[in-house]
Structure 1
């Protein structure tokens, strides 16, 4: 992973400050283990079997080189499928000093997990577990599959944290939910401004597909780790000593099939545990830091193409790519259980290849204000001839985006207010009747206040930041939920000694759990500890 970029400070300054300065350097005796307000993954009652993929596997070998774990994942003989649920538990423990890193787990060619890590807080180990429901990948799990995974980590005389990893899959016997009949995944693709298109070859797909979904996880790197803080090039040029990242704040991944634009995919504004000011995230991380959220595109209108027996090109590019992006793509396919062949056609594809942005810049007292906004309404439609007759599907995707960025202190302070909301509505009809209708809505507002204005040199500085981020999801099937994290952090050094390293946070989840049951959780932290009053 690239060296952690502070929101505004020079890349050189980032390296000099070493933004993994542990919270425990000032707040004794350290921080609690990471906690989130999200509901835990539910576990069905009844027989189950666990399979271990990694057991206290270190991210770095004794000589310090990075290493991954690998093997063959075989369904347990005592728990043959189908399964009511399959859960991945990924437990990580680390001490010392280290940047946040990227971790993944790939089964066959499918990335079933993609996330980042907690930065350690000193000599006392911190431990956390990422649990993920991976039942939707059941079609992969019925036969032995190769797997590889791990955390890409680098050690030095300063950055000593070596991530200890234990990974298990637990298979719960019982009636299987409605899961895809086929899963077609690809290893993560890495884009850059110089190579900003990736092409994935779709071959040997089932000939009897009835529904298709595209799951996409996006992660920015380098200057695009906090892409929402980037400014236009002419604004960055006004403050040459601030080292601001350019290309503006708007990003979307544009997906196409055989050259036909299919969808514009956004991503939640993830912030990693070294992001902006590291003490913002001790011990409550930002939303979905440890398991990045994927976005789902209903591509059922394109099924008529997918079942023609030919090879197809699934392509992605990132609008305004300013540094690097990882794109993780997986197709989830449902098939006709009564016919060996389906057929169909795409009838409408009204999708703009890229978004049209509206950018205004204005001088304000002490700085510059930049407002970047855009919106989309994209429509695709098609039909599939199935054993139940012709089913026509129309998908409408909307998006409204606005980023209002006030830059002051010669580029060393920003106040960012960003809104990003959208919907996906899919309606399927047969014989003039509606046979299926789904609606998914997202809302990802975030407000950031950040200042490095007190910077003197790498031995005398003060970084302060506040972040208020919310994720609201409303799904006609899964229900509705809202998660919010509000954090404040400060990190200061005087004459080379850490003089202040502190923070406090609140986190609230209100909605439903994965069983559809009401769930509310509120957390608060101060001085690296969870408040337990």
Structure 2
């Protein structure tokens, strides 16, 4: 993440001032380029304020049933780098509620004693990543937050004693003295739990948790990328690999990829396409050092051969764009970074030769730096010692990006767009019979960046659309279909003006959305569907001093989260104005969810 030095005593006062101020304005559309001049700081609020930073998404379980048992894994203070190290801690499955579990939920609860920057953090089990998260950008003391994640898919790792590993990357510095007090627990459920699931990957690609999970990550003890198990990608020529030998009775494989963008690529989605390196025109703090365009693609390979890819969702870090947008409402995916599932079953036949194979990960067009890692989920045939198979279709045309750019000095515009359709198919013969798995993946991408007024105004629009069709045939009869569709639009407008005395005022409007729809037909299980719409609109300003430090700022954010499946609905609307939550409404009414869908469509 981009480092932004701040004065602790000033930001403490600043945030408390913002809490005392409440504007009734609702965030406008980012395409409306009219901005209000930010007001001066209001009077000081009480110093004993405590504040919850929240992620307004659906929790993995609604409180309809208590867990069978809970296990605290870690209680630790993470202070400055000089005093704090990555934490290893032992895990033993609970004796009073052994597996099988119907649901396992990871809970990370934390607080910060003083002002602190946002940090990237992760938790691994036996080298496999199960959570990637960001801490809030702490602008006041006594802030606390909580992350709850369904980790049922990792039960293969939780059935036996092992080691957990947790780390905060650059978890402090010499000038900011905030200490993170962190608790990590697991909650185990047995029997029916009657829950919603915020990210229902347990259905479709994960009908049952895998039998074996193999980390595709940096080996422990390899210090080339610093602490942690993640690979560090600095450019597209960096291909990080891990050699794996898979069991001969494997009949299914899914690669789950975790990735996050930092440093020069923190704002890759707003990166213009230019032939010359002119730096940050007009004092634009959201510019990359190399204007190579706003397209990034995470690519997975086996033995150097392409096996899948994804354009990642642009998670906005809590200290990015305008930190006051994300206090106290987190940006989409910031506290629970999304992972991406690549169906590798068509390739399993090529891996059942008793030899090790090299799994690779890279990020196309990347700049320093990206953190990436993956988990290989494998399903094993308990009734067979050996599975046979073959890849029968492999159609991977190149993704050709159309590029247009028209620049004159600090002004101009650029566009990048492209689409591709990938097809794989392979058969496997096991105790389940002769089963053919076919994958069709369509990706469509478009980005537009425009700079006007001698670099003072910048707008970026991006849209990612993807559709994956999974078809399973047995004895030439289709027995299951799964369709996953995602859409991720983003609109960002920034205007920079003279704030006097060498300072700058940056005014920003942002619209961001994650849409996911899943549907399936699974034999006797029938048909099901689910949709998630996570939408945010933000508007605000910051005053940036001559030394590039934040002097003061404000931000309003409206967040709308809607989940619906074939049985249930959930709707939550949170409206934050000037750092204060003015509205926080939840509903499980499908009528309300349907009405909201009409309003935002």
Asked if TM exceeds 0.5, the reply is: yes
> How far is 1:308 from its partner?
2.4
1:73-112 CA distances to partner (integer Å, 9 max, x unpaired)? Answer: 1101111101111110001111422221011111111011
Is the 2:55–2:335 Cα contact (8 Å) retained in structure 1? Answer: no
TM-score normalised by length of structure 1: 0.90
The root-mean-square deviation of aligned C-alpha atoms, in Å, is 2.7
Q: Give the corresponding residue for 1:220.
A: 261
Cα 1:46/1:299, change in 2 over 3 Å = same
Range 420-429 or range 403-412, more displaced: 403-412
Q: Distance in 2 between matches of 1:40 and 1:362?
A: 46
Q: Give the corresponding residue for 1:166.
A: 183
> How far is 1:238 from its partner?
7.9
TM-score normalised by length of structure 2: 0.80
Is the 2:282–2:410 Cα contact (8 Å) retained in structure 1? Answer: no
Cα 1:484/1:31, change in 2 over 3 Å = farther
> How far is 1:411 from its partner?
3.3
From 476, 488, 503, give the equivalent of 2:555.
503
Q: Distance in 2 between matches of 1:59 and 1:25?
A: 24
Is the 1:84–1:172 Cα contact (8 Å) retained in structure 2? Answer: yes
Q: Give the corresponding residue for 1:258.
A: 303
Q: Give the corresponding residue for 1:356.
A: 400
Secondary structure in 2 matching 1:234: coil
Secondary structure in 2 matching 1:33: strand
> How far is 1:311 from its partner?
0.4
Q: Distance in 2 between matches of 1:360 and 1:194?
A: 22
- The answer on 1:232 being equivalent to 2:273 is yes
Secondary structure in 1 matching 2:102: strand
Q: Give the corresponding residue for 1:481.
A: 532
Secondary structure in 2 matching 1:249: coil
- The answer on 1:99 being equivalent to 2:117 is yes
Q: Distance in 1 between matches of 2:329 and 2:125?
A: 30
Q: Distance in 2 between matches of 1:84 and 1:281?
A: 34
> How far is 1:399 from its partner?
0.6
Range 482-491 or range 236-245, more displaced: 236-245
1:61-82 CA distances to partner (integer Å, 9 max, x unpaired)? Answer: 6x84332222211101111101
Q: Distance in 2 between matches of 1:320 and 1:359?
A: 14
From 15, 29, 36, give the equivalent of 1:24.
15
Q: How does 1:458-469 map to 2 (within 5 A)?
A: 460-469=503-512
Q: Distance in 2 between matches of 1:491 and 1:485?
A: 19
Q: Distance in 1 between matches of 2:555 and 2:490?
A: 18
Secondary structure in 2 matching 1:237: coil
Is the 1:214–1:297 Cα contact (8 Å) retained in structure 2? Answer: yes
Q: Distance in 1 between matches of 2:561 and 2:441?
A: 26
From 21, 35, 46, give the equivalent of 2:54.
35
From 199, 210, 222, give the equivalent of 1:180.
210
Is the 2:273–2:405 Cα contact (8 Å) retained in structure 1? Answer: no
> How far is 1:327 from its partner?
1.1
Q: Distance in 1 between matches of 2:280 and 2:135?
A: 32
Cα 1:348/1:242, change in 2 over 3 Å = farther
Is the 1:255–1:265 Cα contact (8 Å) retained in structure 2? Answer: no
Is the 2:542–2:553 Cα contact (8 Å) retained in structure 1? Answer: yes
Q: Give the corresponding residue for 2:30.
A: none
Cα 1:344/1:493, change in 2 over 3 Å = closer
Q: Distance in 1 between matches of 2:277 and 2:434?
A: 55
- The answer on 1:153 being equivalent to 2:170 is yes
Q: Distance in 2 between matches of 1:172 and 1:118?
A: 29
> How far is 1:39 from its partner?
1.0
- The answer on 1:432 being equivalent to 2:490 is no
Cα 1:451/1:269, change in 2 over 3 Å = same
